[in-house]
Structures are given as C-alpha cells and as structure tokens.
C-alpha cells in the first residue's frame, strides 16, 4: 500500500524526463539512510529503466551535472535531515537550489526539524529563489510547517524505503530474545534512567558502527574522481554502482541485526520501517523531535507495531505474562 502511494506521488513528477540525477548519497554507516537510498533507486529503476546519470555526496560541488545530463530532473536524497539538526545536508540542498535555478529539483520524502527562526528564514529564501522546487514530506506536522513557511509545491509521501517491499527473514537467525536498538547520536531522547531500564530488558546496540565498506579499488577511484576531473565521464558509472553496493551492504547488516532477535525495542524510524517489512514484532519509542511517532501517525499501522508512551509501561509489558517468553 505505501509502496503504491510512493509511486503515485513520485511518478507524475518525472513526466517528460528521460534521465535524472540523484544527489546527497548517504556516505555514512546509518542503515536507515541506506534503506532510503535503495528504495529511491528501486522507484527510479522502474520509472526511468536506467540508473541515474549523475550521483554525488554532500561533499561534492555538483557543479558539473550538465556534463552528464543536459536537462535531467534533480532529486535530493530523502530522510530526516531537512532543517538545522544535521546542517551539512541543508547547506547542500540550499547550494543546489542556488546553483541549478533552471533545473526541476525534487526533495525526496523528509521529516522537518528547525530550532531557530534564522535557519527557517534562510531556507525559505533559498526555496523562494528557485522557480521549480518540490518538497515531499513524510508526516502531517512537516506538511503543515512547509505549507506555512516555504513557497513551493509540498506533497505528502511515505518514506522511500517502502519501495523495497516485504523482506524475507530466516527465522533460524534468531539468537536472542530482546534487542534494544537505540540512538546514540544527537537525536536521542532517552534519559539515563530510561536507558538503564532498557538495559535490564535486553542487549543495547545501535546500527551506526561498521567495518569500512570501501575496497581498495573504491578508494583509488575516489582519488581519481576528485583530482582528475577529465576522467569523470568514465568514472561515473562505477561510482554509481559503488554507491549501490555500499548501501546494500549496510542494509544487509541492519537486517541481520534485526533478524537476530525475537522482539525489537527502538527509537529509530527505520528500525520500525524495516521491522514492519520483515513482519517482526517491535516496540516503538521516539527520537528527540517526535519524528517516529509523527511518521507512524501519518500512515496505516500494521499489527507488528506497538507504540510505547513510557519506559515504565514498556517494562511492565515485557515482564507481563503475555510476553513472558521474552525473558
């Protein structure tokens, strides 16, 4: 259902275009962003029947898009970084709006969080200066905020990871009862006391640690891409394939982590999304700005998702007779 809604929202935006660029590849270890990226590619592989003509990370200038696609549509990778909590991504978006005023630019599904009026005003000016910008948002709060502050087309759209479809899981992969997969970054909302309660219920982990996914060839190609611009035409296809491979490796790591436990407790949005796609029971906590709950409230909830309003309630549930097999 949500995969269908994704297609219904994004496909019309692609009308009249035969090629595209996909910018701001998540070159970091967060599994959720890799799931989003692969979902975006799944959508575009079907719509365009070809890979993106141009890809880049937020560190790239992206000033040479015209060398790879003369008139293609520009898509910006979605997620939870629209605002000032992760400013590097917002700076990149604003730079793209200024740098490519004659291109159609679509921001793929995002949550929104700003902490200062000055950051809102700066973003509003960047958007107002672009004649063809579309902002896709993942929840009603983001939609209302964007409609109020930004002069652009705003549409509700599910998270792109749903384009991956249901995920088959080997039930023999279960090695433990409870996994508390909790944020360890600045979006963490849990207090020390709450964290200690969760620690008594099961293993506590995050999914942002990894052994490097880069091969020696990957590092060598990056050096050539960075310092030998005349070689970029030949390097772009393997660069695009490298991004896919890195994202797939990270996604598989995250799926294996979730598959290892009977029950999941998490404050990460994509733990909820992937667990739902895996058909795995999970308890949902929230992050620092209610991103998880806002998203869940915006879309149909399946019967594997259990909202937790307080850690104390969760402790009672886990120790109750109905879930006694967990411990």
Question: Across residues 53-70, what is the average pLDDT?
Answer: 94
pLDDT tier, 27 (very low <50, low <70, confident <90, very high otherwise)? very high
pLDDT tier, 172 (very low <50, low <70, confident <90, very high otherwise)? confident
Percent of the chain having pLDDT more than 70?
97
Amino acid 232: pLDDT: 92
Fold of 2-164: Rossmann fold (3.40.50)
C-alpha 327, offset from chain centre:
32
Whether the domain at 2-164 and the domain at 171-209+253-326 fall into the same CATH topology? yes
CA angle (12 as vertex; 140, 78 as ends), nearest 5: 50
Burial 255-268 (b: 16+ CB within 10 A, else e): bebbbebbbbbbbb
How far apart are alpha carbons 224 and 232 in whole angstroms? 8
What is the rounded average pLDDT for all residues in the chain?
93
Question: Across residues 74-99, what is the average pLDDT?
Answer: 96
154 or 319, higher pLDDT: 154
Whether residue 323 is predicted with pLDDT greater than 60 in this model: the reply is no
203-231 tens-digit pLDDT: 999 999 988 999 999 999 999 999 998 99
The CATH number given to 171-209+253-326 is: 3.40.50
Residue bearing tokens 């660029």: 21
Question: Domain extents for the chain?
Answer: 2-164, 171-209+253-326
Please, is 301 exposed, middle or buried when counting C-beta atoms within 10 Å of its C-beta (0-12, 13-18, 19+)? middle
How far apart are alpha carbons 194 and 183 in whole angstroms? 13
172 or 279, higher pLDDT: 279
Question: Across residues 48-77, what is the average pLDDT?
Answer: 95
Contact 292, 284 (CB under 8 A): yes
Whether residue 321 is predicted with pLDDT greater than 50 in this model: the reply is no
Whether residue 239 is predicted with pLDDT greater than 60 in this model: the reply is yes
Whether residue 320 is predicted with pLDDT greater than 80 in this model: the reply is no
Q: Which residues make Cβ contacts (< 8 Å) with residue 192, sequence separation at least 6?
A: none
Question: Across residues 291-317, what is the average pLDDT?
Answer: 88
């Amino acid at each position: 259902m949500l995969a269908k809604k994704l297609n219904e929202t994004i496909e019309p935006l692609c009308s009249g275009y035969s090629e595209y660029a996909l910018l701001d590849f998540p070159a970091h270890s967060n599994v959720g962003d890799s799931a989003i990226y692969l979902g975006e590619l799944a959508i575009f592989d079907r719509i365009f029947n070809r890979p993106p003509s141009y890809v880049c990370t937020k560190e790239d200038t992206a000033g040479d898009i015209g060398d790879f696609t003369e008139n293609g549509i520009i898509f910006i990778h979605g997620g939870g970084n629209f605002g000032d909590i992760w400013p590097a991504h917002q700076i990149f978006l604003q730079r793209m709006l200024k740098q490519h005023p004659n291109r159609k630019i679509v921001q793929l599904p995002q949550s929104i969080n700003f902490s200062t009026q000055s950051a809102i005003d700066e973003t509003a000016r960047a958007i107002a200066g672009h004649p063809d910008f579309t902002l896709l948002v993942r929840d009603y709060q983001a939609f209302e905020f964007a409609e109020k502050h930004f002069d652009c087309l705003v549409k509700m759209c599910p998270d792109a990871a749903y384009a991956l479809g249901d995920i088959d899981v080997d039930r023999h992969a279960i090695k433990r009862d409870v996994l508390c997969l909790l944020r360890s970054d600045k979006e963490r909302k849990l207090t020390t006391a709450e964290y200690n309660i969760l620690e008594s219920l099961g293993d506590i982990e995050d999914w942002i640690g990894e052994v490097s996914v880069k091969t020696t060839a990957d590092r060598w190609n990056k050096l050539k891409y960075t310092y030998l611009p005349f070689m970029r035409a030949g390097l772009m296809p393997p660069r695009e394939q490298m991004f896919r491979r890195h994202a797939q490796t990270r996604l598989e790591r995250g799926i294996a982590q979730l598959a290892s436990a009977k029950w999941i407790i998490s404050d990460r949005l994509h733990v909820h999304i992937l667990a739902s796609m895996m058909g795995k029971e999970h308890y949902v906590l929230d992050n620092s700005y209610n991103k998880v709950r806002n998203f869940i409230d915006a879309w149909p909830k399946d019967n594997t998702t259990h909202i937790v309003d307080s850690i104390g309630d969760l402790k009672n549930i886990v120790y109750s007779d109905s879930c006694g097999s967990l411990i």
